[in-house]
Structure 1
Amino acid sequence: MAEELVRQGIITTEVLEFLRACILARLNLAIAGPPRSGKRMLLHMLVDLVSGDGQILAVQNPDEPSLECKGITTLRANLQPEQGKHRIPRDYLLTLAPKMHPEGLLLDGVDGSEAVALLKLLLAMDGVWFSIIAESPKDALSRLENLVLLHGAELDTDMIRRILSTSLHLIIQLGKRGNGAPTIVSLTEVTEVERDAPVLRDIFVRQNMGLKETASRGLLRPTGIKPHFLDRMEMLGISIPEGIFIQPRSKKGAAS
Structure 2
Amino acid sequence: MSLLEKLEGAKIQKNIKEEDVKRLNELKSRLHRKLVEELKNLNVGDEGRELLKAKIEEYTEDFLAKEGEYVTKGERQKIAQEMINEIIGFGPITPLIEDPEVSEIMVNGPKKVYVEKKGKIELTDVAFRDEEHVMNIIERIVAPIGRRIDESMPMVDARLPDGSRVNAIIPPLSLVGPVITIRKFSQKPYTIQDLIKFGTLTQNMAVFLEACVKARLNILVSGGTGSGKTTTLNVLSSFIPENERIITIEDAAELQLQQPHVITLESRPPNIEGKGAITIRDLVRNALRMRPDRIVVGEVRGGEALDMLQAMNTGHDGSLTTGHANSPRDMLSRLETMVLMAGVDLPVRAIREQIASAVDLIIHQSRLKDGTRKIVSITEVQGLEGDVIVLQDIFTFVQTGVDQNGRVQGYFKSSGVLPRFMDRFEAYGIKLPLTIFNPDYSEEVKNDTSNPSTAKLSRRFFDGVLRL
Q: TM-score, normalised by structure 1?
A: 0.89
Which structure is richer in relative contact order (CA contacts within 8 A, separation 6 or more)? Answer: 1
Q: Which residue identity lines up with residue 366 of structure 2 in the other structure?
A: G
Q: Which residue identity lines up with residue 76 of structure 1 in the other structure?
A: E
Other-structure match for 1:233 = 425
Q: Does residue 215 in structure 1 map to residue 409 in structure 2?
A: yes
Other-structure match for 2:247 = 57
What's the offset of the Cα at 1:130? 0.9
What's the offset of the Cα at 1:37? 0.4
Q: Secondary structure at the match of 1:152?
A: coil
Query: After the TM superposition, which of the residue ranges 181-190 and 207-216 deviates more from structure 2?
Result: 207-216
What's the offset of the Cα at 1:114? 1.2
Q: Does residue 92 in structure 1 map to residue 282 in structure 2?
A: yes
Other-structure match for 1:203 = 394
Distance 1:214 1:112 in 2: 34
Other-structure match for 1:188 = 379
Other-structure match for 2:339 = 148
Q: Secondary structure at the match of 1:207?
A: strand
Distance 1:103 1:222 in 2: 31
Other-structure match for 1:18 = 208
Over the matched positions of the two proteins, sequence identity in percent amounts to 32
Runs of 4+ in 1 over 6 A off after TM superposition: none
Other-structure match for 2:121 = none
Q: Which residue identity lines up with residue 36 of structure 1 in the other structure?
A: G
Q: Does residue 176 in structure 1 map to residue 367 in structure 2?
A: yes
Q: Secondary structure at the match of 2:392?
A: strand
Are the equivalent residues in 2 in contact too, given 1:25–1:232 (CA < 8 A)? yes
Structure 1 residue runs without a partner (length 5+): none
Are the equivalent residues in 1 in contact too, given 2:401–2:409 (CA < 8 A)? no
Q: Which residue identity lines up with residue 106 of structure 1 in the other structure?
A: V
Q: Does residue 69 in structure 1 map to residue 263 in structure 2?
A: no
Q: Secondary structure at the match of 2:395?
A: strand
RMSD of equivalent CA atoms: 2.2
Q: Which residue identity lines up with residue 129 of structure 1 in the other structure?
A: L
Are the equivalent residues in 1 in contact too, given 2:400–2:409 (CA < 8 A)? no
Other-structure match for 1:121 = 311
Other-structure match for 2:233 = 43
Distance 1:102 1:11 in 2: 30
Q: TM-score, normalised by structure 2?
A: 0.50
Distance 1:136 1:196 in 2: 19
Q: Secondary structure at the match of 1:73?
A: strand
- Cα distance per residue 1:178-198 (max 9 Å; x no partner): 302211000000012113111
Distance 1:209 1:129 in 2: 32
Are the equivalent residues in 1 in contact too, given 2:218–2:358 (CA < 8 A)? yes
Q: Which residue identity lines up with residue 279 of structure 2 in the other structure?
A: P
Structure 2 residue runs without a partner (length 5+): 1-190, 446-453, 455-468
Q: Secondary structure at the match of 1:228?
A: coil
Are the equivalent residues in 1 in contact too, given 2:435–2:441 (CA < 8 A)? no
Other-structure match for 1:134 = 325
Larger Rg: 2
Q: Secondary structure at the match of 2:399?
A: coil
Query: After the TM superposition, which of the residue ranges 7-16 and 118-127 deviates more from structure 2?
Result: 118-127
What's the offset of the Cα at 1:112? 1.5
Distance 2:212 2:431 in 1: 11
Distance 2:374 2:263 in 1: 27
